[in-house]
Amino acid sequence: MGSVVVPSLVAVWGERAAGSVAVSGAGGVLSYGELVRRADGLARSLVGRGVRRGEVVGVCMGRGVDVVVGLLAVMRAGGAYLPLDPGYPGERLRFMVRDSGVRFVVVDDDVRGGVGAELSNDAELVGVSGGEADTDVVLPEVGVDDLAYVIYTSGSSGEPKGVGVEHGSVARLFDRVGEWFGWSRDDVWSCFHSVGFDFSVWEVWGALTSGGRVELVSYEDSRDPVAFRRLLGERGVSVASLTPSALLRLMPFLSGEGVPGGLRHVVLGGEAVRAGQIAGLLERSVGERPRVWNLYGITETTVHASVRELTAADVDGEGSPIGRPLSDLAFAVVDAKVGDVAVGAEVAELPVGEPGELWISGAGVARGYVNRPELTVKRFVDATVGGVSARWYRTGDEVVATSGASGVEFAYVGRLDRQVQLRGFRIELGEVEAALAAHGGIDAAVVELLDGEADGDGPALAAFVTEAAGSVGGVGTFEDVRDWLSGRLPQHMLPSSVSVVESLPLTANGKLDRAALRDLAVQPLPTRDSGDQPVTDTERLLAGIWSQVLRTDSVGRNDHFFTIGGDSMTALRASVAAEEKGLEFSVGDLFVHPVLADLAAATAPAALVADPPQPAADPVPVPAGTVERAYPALLIQTGMLYESERDPDRPTYHVVSETVLDAPGLTPSALAAALAAVTNAQPGLRTEFDLTGADGPVQLVRALPDPLLEYEDLSTFAPDAAGKRIEQIRERERERPFYRDDFPLWRLTCAVLPGGRARMFLSHHHALLDGWSVSVFFDQILAALRGTGVAAPVDVCRLAAEAEAEALASEESAAYWSGMTRQWRALTVPERRRQDGEPALWSATYSIDGRLREDIGRACAAWRCSPKQLFLAAHLRALELGAGPGTPRPGTLAVANARPEAWDTHLAVGVFLNAVPVLPPAEGASWRERVTHVAAAELEMLEHRHFPFAAMRSRFGLPAPTTWFTYTDFAATSMADFIATVTDHTVTELPLTVSVVDDGLMVDGSSDHFTAAEVADVVHGYAECLREAVGEATAE
């Protein structure tokens, strides 16, 4: 360990590069000279107040440049900084201040007027921009053995514990990691994390000890992958450090040309890494992506302890490779059953290949736990392990050593104790349990980390509690418990579910049987808006139907169909399923009576009929060349066909969808057989169009001699070569549009990859398939490959044509849309000349994180609306803001589900949608009023939804639309897990298209009207509208 320390290294750069930018972010920019000058002034102020060498000093500020001044000042004063995140509950911050013996806390004005009022009861608050300090005060020399910082981690006893790390351990970190990859003063490091998370030690001081720049990422931008991706490019970030969860949220925005050109290194840490989850990044050629590093580590071993570069070769591997230890550390795998160890004891090391607990020794091992001598002795042990006598830290992590061509490496298996990692945070489940047990209505509590693979939502904390006997008010609702906990625990430690059990299961030895918890009959806590159980036979029958189509376990009599996950597609299925059970209501009835008890009261009994006939698993093929059936083409189809050929340089309505399937042993013949089964079951895939018929355009269904299948075996390719070939296929498919005389108007390309996976590309004309149908297609291909049969739905294409003909003849529908047309205005969009080399379409996406998703759910429950209605209200608001003051408030074109009401229509492929104009709400409307307006409009137009958009334009002179809104929710279908892997590339003729698919928002803007930056601004503004909406709901 050397003699240099971080504050001295930064001070050197303050002299050598005084004018160079050191820190940028909220609050402006600080040069090295200004950073050191301000930090030294504050340091002298602290010393003048009596701060002693080695004393712990709190720093409580937001993510602005001033926080770096505070951290550096404490170290320059000889103290150790204790980062205090102002977003944490005041009670937790006060505990940390008292527990570590803090006398002074450095704050900014925002904190002083907020949580600082609570901290002032225990410590003196010192302003980061305080008055002039005494220049005669001499700053102390800081040594390698002095304490540098204290960072608190979750504690199993119910209280967090502070880890004290010395200066020597911090300073050597950058030299040791630098042996694996390099950086210089020309690099820009993002600081993505709160300074209360030890990853920030690497991010801030890695930049500032090398003369580089650290870009502080705001909390809002860290939760918004669109904004963070924009920041990476605009600020020239070259070293980005992220948890794997954060990288996964960013992945959709790194496809194509999305990787910032200056990004050289992505450093992962804080969680287990699964390389297969980031295959889209790793499989790109090295020159087109940053190098990706997995740096395993924990707070007690100074941030990082081992290094492993991830490449395409890791994509098909199992586990989480953590590589080799830093050169001044030693790893040993020890039997996990080893108990307390006496000083100087000899401990056997397990052989390679046998999993056990990881013990770490060397220069990075922390001093210990602040004011926890017993715990320090227990976890930091002086022992001889594998012949190495040293001070070892017992990590509690289960790892396995493996032997390979490059020597012994290690792989992370999991935790051995009650500590888990969730979104980069280490959480002691015992601390959450202790907080729950302190609730007056709870007797005992157990918390587990559930993997979430079944529902695709990812890992989450689940609490199981028993009610306290004789408590007043009981446990309350789920929201009551979360609100109560939020005053005691940070957000990342709050359970996602709380269930009541009669008693906690025990083993034969009387210990808690944690494995049995998941098999218990549990009763989830009610939400504030959930109602009583169904009481009548009709209510119980409806509840069962809703439960089936929405894939939820419990439905109350006061539940609102569209609030608990329903949409127009599931409403259709519920209506048909109810008829089969002897109840009769239409989709429109469900919109009018969305509450279960109200619908039950309004529902008329129908004649009981037998269960619906099950379709044949293997439909009989139609002889090649014969026309099986014919019916009129929908106007939306003919419009798409004509528009697609209007501009030969623009692939309008050419769609390329791709997905990756697990298909071990896939052969060309097996795929061809599966494709034939799906094609024979789906008339929509055997459809061609004749636009010159005497009676108007028609759809003709006939047999295909052979489905268009292109098959490539890349299983023996090197990862880089396979990735390059995949990109070539993707670009080729995007450049091969269909023409209206082609038959069929689709083709499937399959590339078999290493590891039993297959990447499939479905290219098609949008006149043939809508978005839902693409997912049905892939789902049925997978079913056919697995031998589970392919459902042959009713002839929905014929039913859709009949519904359109009836709507065109309806005087009521004509009057409705005529009145709408007179009021509707389109958004005025700019015109620009597309530059050479620009794509026809710019795309930007926004992934809705779990926190915002929960807020949206609560807003929908409060306003009794569906998520679609809330998203559409936000869309209209975003258009209103985009139009600007003094201009007519624009409406939008929205996609309406036009599938006929019949059994299994959701399993048919084709085009079953219509585009309908939606008016904006009244000027100055509240968000509740906006959502109410959208819900009323949706209900009003329901019976007229089959009247085609083209007829609205030709008959009533509807203005040319400029925006398109579509919402698709696959969460309540069998494709809920599968659909997350499907991506589309589509070009429409409209300037701006906004699509919501489950929890993802996609904005496509024509390059004839928008720049890439403008499209990114649109998606960001849309997200702001969503946050504004849920904020109003929360305030209510």
Give the start-to-end residue ranges of the domains of the chain: 6-167, 329-364+372-417, 428-524, 537-605, 627-792, 800-1035
Cα–Cα distance between 367 and 162 in angstroms, integer? 11
- Residue 734 near residue 762, CB atoms below 8 Å: no
The string of pLDDT tens digits covering residues 654-687 is: 888 888 877 777 888 888 988 888 988 888 888 8
Query: According to CATH, what is the number of the domain 800-1035?
Result: 3.30.559.30
Cα–Cα distance between 529 and 555 in angstroms, integer? 12
What is the model's pLDDT at position 999? 57
User: How many Å is the Cα radius of gyration of the chain?
Assistant: 31
Which three-class secondary structure state does DSSP give residue 378? helix
CA atoms within 13 A on the CB side of 645: 10
- Cα separation values, 119 from 55, 85, 92, 125, 840, Å: 18, 12, 10, 8, 56
Strands (E), 18-143: 21-25, 28-31, 56-60, 80-83, 104-107, 124-127
The string of pLDDT tens digits covering residues 764-782 is: 898 888 877 888 888 888 8
Q: What is the assigned CATH class of domain 627-792? A: alpha beta
Query: According to CATH, what is the number of the domain 537-605?
Result: 1.10.1200.10
CB burial string 298-308: b at 16+ within 10 A, e below: bbbbbbbbbbb
Strands (E), 909-956: 913-918
- Amino acid identity at 168: G
Residues 6+ apart with CB under 8 A from 710: 747, 748, 749, 750
Cα–Cα distance between 746 and 769 in angstroms, integer? 9
- Reference 247, options 220, 270, 264; nearest CA is 270
Parts of the chain with a pLDDT under 50: 453-457, 509, 530, 606-624, 970-985, 987
- Residue 465 near residue 475, CB atoms below 8 Å: yes
Task: Enumerate the H helices of 487-606 as residue ranges.
Answer: 537-550, 568-580, 587-592, 596-602
Superfamily of domain 329-364+372-417: Luciferase; Domain 3 (2.30.38.10)
Q: What is the assigned CATH class of domain 428-524? A: alpha beta
| Start-to-end Cα distance in the chain | 57
Helices 65-76 and 32-48: crossing angle, nearest 10°? 50
Superfamily of domain 6-167: ANL, N-terminal domain (3.40.50.12780)
- Residue 744: asked if its preceding bond is cis (omega within 30°), the reply is yes
This prediction's pTM: 0.51
Domains 627-792 and 800-1035 share a fold: yes
